[in-house]
Amino acid sequence: RESALSKTMRLHTYSEALRELGPIKGSILVLICIILVCIMLRKLVSQELLITLFYSLLYLIASPTAILVNKILMKDYGFGYPVMVSAFGQGMTTLCSFLLVHCGYETLDKGPTVPRSSLVLLGGASALALVLGQYPYLYLTVAFIQMLKAFSPAIMVLLLSFMGVEYPSRRVIFCVLGLSFCTAVASAGEVNFNVIGVLFMAGASCSDALRLVIAQKLLKNLKLKPVETLYYTSPVCLLWMVPAALATEMPLALHRNSFKLILKHPLMFMLSGFSGFFVNITSFLLVKRTSSMTLKTMTMTRNGGLVIFSALLMGETITSLEAFGYSGLLVFFGLYTYTKASQTMAAQPVAITEPKASPNVSGREGEVEVEEEESLADDETCVGQRANGLHTGGDTDYLLTKKSSKSNLAT
């Protein structure tokens, strides 16, 4: 392990080059590259694809921006109050969703059908996941936190099987074992390993998995729109955070006079609040434009890019052993995503169309021979049954049999 720690990735040379270039020249260079890429893509791809790429770019920017802003706010500026930082984001999300609804940009269709008990449980789990997700940035590096996030599917699988919601297959178990092994390898290679930070990260992953399970069990029959979901869940989540902040962080913040940092860095606090809403809305837009599979794949890419960014611009050390472990995490995370997508597609019912008639003109004028297609199902096969909570459009069972007929049509 000590020999592995001495062999760090050779990213410091790029970091030094960027520091010598300066932030202004570096930003101008990146902006020029983006403009050139957009000009080339405009001539090669269609407008619809450009819109999809634009949504993808927004998603790739949103979450790393929120992560880096909150990390700078809590660790570099000294505003180390994760509950209040999370409350800033939820408060801004509540305000933005409220304005979108009451200004006529969005309507509430499913509002009266949302159970209050479901909102309270979901809001509490969301608040716990958000708050615990902020604490690791006080103890661990951004790069190592992104590596630990790749282990979250393993926790999700264990929690789903424990609560009886879903039982994993052999392939999923294999992916979970691979994720566990690679997480251990990446942790062994981490220079700034901290037990408290890892425990907070484990708690954040467990609470986020619990949030997803609660959402799956309680809101599975409600198809809420993106802004509609934020409109109902964000205020409840904020109501969970405010008492926790008043009880745990407010007295210490008043004693240290930490609120003067808001006047000293107002732009950073505003950016922290808006970034929370930005992350939520961009993920919803991307899923609506593409699919959840694309979202998961881009999340892997985004986290990997954030690891490299942390090493290049933030001076965080990544050892060779840590890089090897994270590479394995990405591989098994991709296998897990592919396996779950394959299982979802296999569970969907096959749509059976109406039999089509194929006319064959016979030798006599005015007589047409019609042979119907063979049925896709056997005599005992029924369509319309419910399986795994998926509905095929009705509860009536249709029996399909093989048959052929002839009809004479007058000319």
pLDDT tens column, 182-227: 877 777 777 677 888 888 888 888 887 787 777 766 655 566 676 7
How confident is the model at residue 368, as a pLDDT? 38
Q: Is 180 exposed, middle or buried (0-12, 13-18, 19+ CB in 10 A)?
A: middle
Single-letter residue type at 18: L
Q: What is the pTM of this model?
A: 0.60
H or E element at residue 371: strand 367-372
How far out from the chain centre does Cα 41 lie?
26
- The rounded distance, in Å, linking the Cα atoms of 233 and 126 is 9
Interatomic CA distance for residues 36 and 361, integer angstroms? 61
Determine the angle formed by the axes of helices 142-149 and 170-188, rounding to 10 degrees: 160
pLDDT in the model for residue 137: 81
Residue 346 burial (10 A CB sphere; 0-12, 13-18, 19+): exposed
Closest C-alpha to 71, from 152, 145, 148, 125: 145
Give mean pLDDT in consecutive 10-residue pieces for the chain, a chain of 411 residues. 43 55 62 71 67 75 80 83 88 87 74 71 85 84 77 76 74 81 76 83 83 68 70 87 88 87 86 82 70 61 69 68 78 77 66 48 41 38 38 38 41 39
Contact predicate 242/32, CB 8 Å? no
Cβ neighbours, 10 Å, residue 89: 27
pLDDT value of residue 386: 35
| pLDDT confidence of residue 182 | 81
Neighbours of 21 (CB within 10 A): 13
What does the pLDDT read at residue 313?
64
Residues whose CB falls within 8 Å of the CB of residue 174, separated by 6 or more in sequence, listed in order: 335
* Residue-wise pLDDT tens digits, 259-275: 888 888 888 888 888 88
Alpha-helical runs (H) found in 136-194: 142-149, 152-162, 170-188
pLDDT score, position 407: 43
Among residues 111, 387, 383, 390, the alpha carbon closest in space to that of 230 is found at: 111
pLDDT for the residue numbered 2: 41
Within 8 A by CB and 6+ apart from 87, the residues are: 238, 241, 242, 245
Both tokens of 183, joined, read: 């997480």
pLDDT at 364: 43
Rounded CA gap, 254 and 81, in Å?
Answer: 12
